[in-house]
């Protein structure tokens, strides 16, 4: 098998494609996506290989969504996150990823709804909590122009607007 048909396997020391398990493809995709040099296209190919072996794995769909978001293929990413949620409705990171993707697509009300779910499923999902707060703040309050000079917390932290 050529390197072209087996993206990244040499980089992570995995066997040729014909011998890889779903777990090995998933791990290869993670390595390609999270460790330098980052190669999103090859990570996406690895996740797609894993899904060929197990099309019912929500985690792999979530990882595919992450790779697609990194490639700015937001409509495809949204579909991957939605499939991840169908397969595992309790996956807070999939709900957050869906929210991030909807936010990138400027579908703010839908993004807010997506963020609401993981914040109740996982109070420790800080990305969802911060994103939900940011969206709610933008919707209801005008942005702050300058930090209040009399507020020492604002001066020390450098916060100048309602962000997480």
- For the chain, the domains span 3-157
Distance separating alpha carbons of residues 43 and 26, to the nearest angstrom: 9
- Percentage of the chain modeled with pLDDT above 70: 68
What CATH class has 3-157?
Answer: mainly alpha
Whether pTM exceeds 0.85: no
pLDDT value of residue 48: 98
| Reported confidence tier of residue 127, pLDDT bands at 50, 70, 90 | confident
Confidence of residue 29 (pLDDT cuts 50, 70, 90): very high
Environment class of 152 (CB within 10 Å of its CB; exposed 0-12, middle 13-18, buried 19+): exposed
Residue-wise pLDDT for 49-101, tens only, equals 999 999 999 999 999 999 999 999 999 999 999 999 999 998 889 999 999 99
Q: Does the pLDDT value for residue 109 go beyond 60? A: yes
Is 135 in contact with 115 (CB distance < 8 Å)?
A: yes
Dist. CA 100–CA 81, nearest whole Å: 10
From the list 75, 126, 72, 68, the residue with the least C-alpha distance to 96 is: 126
The two structure tokens encoding residue 53: 């072996």
C-alpha 147/C-alpha 134 separation (Å) is 17
């Amino acid at each position: 098998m050529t390197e072209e048909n087996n993206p990244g396997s040499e980089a992570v020391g995995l066997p040729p494609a014909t011998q890889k398990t779903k777990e090995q493809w998933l791990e290869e995709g993670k390595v390609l996506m999270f460790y330098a040099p980052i190669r999103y296209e090859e990570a996406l190919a690895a996740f797609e290989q894993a899904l060929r072996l197990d099309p019912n794995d929500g985690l792999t769909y979530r990882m595919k969504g992450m790779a697609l978001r990194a490639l700015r293929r937001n409509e495809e990413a949204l579909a991957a996150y939605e499939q991840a949620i169908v397969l595992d409705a309790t996956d807070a990171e999939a709900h957050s990823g869906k929210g991030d993707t909807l936010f990138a697509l400027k579908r703010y009300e839908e993004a807010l709804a997506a963020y609401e779910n993981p914040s109740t499923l996982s109070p420790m999902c800080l990305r969802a909590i911060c994103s939900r707060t940011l969206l709610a703040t933008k919707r209801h309050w005008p942005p702050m122009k300058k930090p209040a000079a009399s507020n020492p917390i604002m001066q020390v932290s450098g916060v100048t607007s309602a962000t997480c």
